[in-house]
Amino acid sequence: MIKKENKTAIEFIELYELYKKVREIDNINSRKKCKDSILERGERGHFLKVTVTLPPETFSDLKKLGIERKLSGEKDTDVSSLIRESLNSFLETYRGEE
């Protein structure tokens, strides 16, 4: 039987692999559409704080993506925003809301 911690890690790895595949086939226009689905920044109380543990490679990829976006003049380039965006996109796909 898989321990709860390992199951969560496996689910996150699967989510990250899905995110990488989506990003590979994603073009700039669809990425902007996905970014539009992100909640507007609001009061701190509008979000729940969650702590996650990421593999160093994942964190590095997120930082690189943030730098690419920052250089192209986009907003929401921090790791938290990128994780929120990818989770929103994943959940929209899961729910069939594309």
Per-domain residue ranges of the chain = 4-95
Contact between residue 37 and residue 88 where contact means Cβ atoms under 8 Å apart: yes
Q: Is the pLDDT of residue 2 over 60?
A: no
**pLDDT score at 63:** 92
Q: Which two tokens stand for residue 84?
A: 């929120």
**pLDDT score at 59:** 92
**pLDDT score at 28:** 47
**pLDDT score at 42:** 52
**pLDDT score at 76:** 85
Contacts of residue 17, defined as CB under 8 A and 6 or more positions apart, other chains included, come to none
Task: Look at 2-6, 19-23, 46-50 and tell me which has the smallest mean pLDDT.
Answer: 2-6
